Chains A and B, each alone.
Chain A
Amino acid sequence: MNSIVFQKKQLPYFFLIPLVLGPFFLFLLALGSITFEAIGDHSWTPLLEQDWLKDSILLSLQISLGSAAGGTAIGLILCWWLYRYRTAEQARPWLQIGVAAPHLIVAVTYALLLSSGGILSRALGLLGFISLPSDAPFLPRDPHGLAVILAYWVKEIPFVVFITLPLLQGPFEKWVEASATLGASPFEQFTKIFLPRVALTTWGIFLLVFSFSFGSFEIPYLLGPSQPLVVPLLAWESYLSPIENENSIGILLAVVQLAVIIFCLAAFVVTLVLSKNRHWPSNSKKWSWPSYNKNTGGRG
């Protein structure tokens, strides 16, 4: 009897086995294999001796920061706009295309629209603003990675809107209505109600997008500068290189990217822990930033 009860209780866990011992285990093995190879077999010296490493990391950080900060900011403004004018439902299918579109297609489309022979260059040429195709703005492979940042925005802005829109339901609508009754301007509603409501989520999205942009490959491959290369391209080229020493550089760069992801995850966890001491707007609690309370160790 006891064994039957035991089996029934354990049954739900058996259903997890195919996933836990399948793709998820492969994922853990993947993380483990590069970490162990980086610690064990490979020396960091050849990587650290490379002159291009610093330039590549700086370019990757610059692109990640530009895409994450710009994409998040524009996404938030767009989200507020869609909420304020009640047009989110109409925009949803179009935004979904942006979120689900493969990076590769975004890069190809960017190249067709904004390359020297693209639609923008032709339109500007027809209007007489430029006389040569190469004079067009936002051309791919610019040295600062602007084309890469703009292409990332195409994916990230819809993503930000998608994540933040569900937060603007329920109590949020009551706060907006109450503030409008009390005479708040749309700008005040944006800065004093909308931004505090989405602050924590926005920080999470920013970190997610930052780490994603740092490790993403397809868009920089098609649109990024050829000198210096961004870190994902360097890692890819090194890993697939037939020279063994270069292969190990690819693995070491993979560890660098994992470190960036872990840093971003840790930053978000720290923010979550710190924000526990604050009253985020909710149905039951009054919106305030509480002062330190000695009796409760700072909690409220």
Chain B
Amino acid sequence: MNIQRRIPLRLIAGLPLLSFASLILFSFSPRIPWPSLWPKEFSGEAWSKLLLSSDLGASLLESVAIGLICVSICLLCCLPAAHTLGLKKIPYSNVWLTVLITPALVTGFGPGIGIAETLSHLDLTGSRWGTALGHSVAAYPYLLLVLATKWRSQGESLEEQAQSLGESPVKVWLRITLPQLGPAIGTGSLLVFVSSFGDYLLTSLISEGSIETLPLALYPLIESGDRPAAAAASLVLILPVIWIAWLSSRTQRRRAKR
């Protein structure tokens, strides 16, 4: 019985662990002669290239900047919409929600080319803001869904009580709504950031070669055989994902304790 319990768990945990281990190993080892699994020498050259060199470092900063702009756009658009869809009893609210999250279902190069074409007509291609706007189309459904679900489960009884006791709407929002919604905003924003941070296709279509994010810089590294730099860049790109998993498991544990 114990073995049957452990096998799938070890498989599920083993694959990510093996992946991280190999990414870490390859990022510190410029050459490992085949079939050896352990490098003869270790070097931090790939990391210094990623964090200190002007090209890769600039790509990393560009990715972070576009990701943060994308999160801001999504928060500005999704917070009010999720408030309505989660709390207000508008007719067909589920239909509204389903329709508004379709960009998460209709993905791939087809809509990607469409977004690039539209941004090109609006003269927004080749810019950081245009790229972030393009990313926000594919990423906002995650935030909307997380926020609307949270608001539905939470309700607004506390806000109503505070307002009936004479608090202003701004204070109610800052002292009650925001602290309650904080974890959902954090998780949703992180999902949006991950989606933007790791995107290749939309960026390559929208940027017109004038913007280089870390994913765009990663492909030439792999194709040129610079395995340590590719592994280091991949580890940086996966960090927000590990953060999401850690946050989620911490929330689960807290809930279980309660």
Contact = CB atoms under 8 A, between A and B. Distances in A.
A104 B118 contact: no
B176 interface: no
Given A95-B12, A111-B222, A239-B205, A34 B113 contact: yes
Nearest to A101: B241
Contact of B252 (A33, A89, A102, A126): A89
B108 A216 contact: yes
B202 to A, nearest CB: 9
A100 B215 contact: no
B201 A105 contact: no
B231 A112 contact: yes
Contacts of A34: 110, 113-114, 117
B113 A91 contact: no
A30 B137 contact: yes
Given A105-B238, A113-B22, A240 B109 contact: no
A251 interface: yes
A214 B100 CA distance: 22
A261 B106 contact: yes
A30 B8 contact: no
B22 A254 contact: no
Interface stretch (B29-37, B53-61, B161-169): B29-37
Contacts of B185: none
Interface stretch (A46-54, A79-87, A271-279, A284-292): A79-87
A231 B108 CA distance: 11
B248 interface: yes
Contacts of B119: 26
Nearest to B223: A222
B160 to A, nearest CB: 15
Interface in A9-25: 12-13, 15-16, 18-20, 22-24
Given A18-B76, A255-B110, A26 B137 contact: yes
Contacts of B230: 108, 112
Interface in B218-249: 218-219, 222, 227, 230-231, 234, 237-238, 241-242, 244-246, 248-249
| Interface-central residue, B88, B106, B227, by most chain A CB under 10 Å | B106
Describe B's contact surface by its main secondary structure.
Answer: helix
A109 B106 CA distance: 26
Nearest to B249: A93
Interface in B185-227: 191, 194-195, 197-201, 204-205, 215, 218-219, 222, 227
A39 B238 CA distance: 41
Interface residues of B, number: 86
Given A23-B133, A26-B118, A104 B109 contact: no
A17 to B, nearest CB: 8
Nearest to A230: B109
Contact of B200 (A94, A104, A240, A255): A104
A81 B10 CA distance: 13
A22 B74 CA distance: 9
A178 interface: no
Contact of B111 (A30, A208, A240): A30
| Interface-central residue, B113, B191, B227, by most chain A CB under 10 Å | B113
A152 interface: no
Interface string A61-72: 000000000000
Contacts of B215: 102, 104
A199 interface: no
Contacts of B109: 215, 217, 231-232, 235-236, 253-254, 257
Interface in A231-289: 231-232, 235-236, 239-240, 250-251, 253-258, 261, 265
B148 to A, nearest CB: 11
A19 B249 contact: no
B108 A218 contact: no
A97 to B, nearest CB: 5
Interface in A130-161: 133, 154, 158
A278 to B, nearest CB: 22
Contacts of B107: 212, 215-216
B37 A102 contact: no
A33 B121 contact: yes
Nearest to A265: B105
23 contacts: A15-B84, A19-B100, A23-B133, A26-B118, A26-B137, A27-B106, A30-B114, A33-B117, A78-B12, A89-B252, A91-B13, A96-B248, A102-B197, A104-B198, A104-B200, A104-B237, A105-B237, A108-B230, A112-B23, A124-B35, A133-B34, A218-B200, A235-B110
Given A24-B137, A96-B249, A257-B109, 18 more contacts: A18-B77, A23-B77, A27-B102, A30-B117, A81-B8, A85-B8, A96-B245, A96-B248, A104-B200, A108-B234, A112-B19, A117-B227, A119-B37, A122-B34, A158-B12, A214-B108, A217-B200, A265-B105
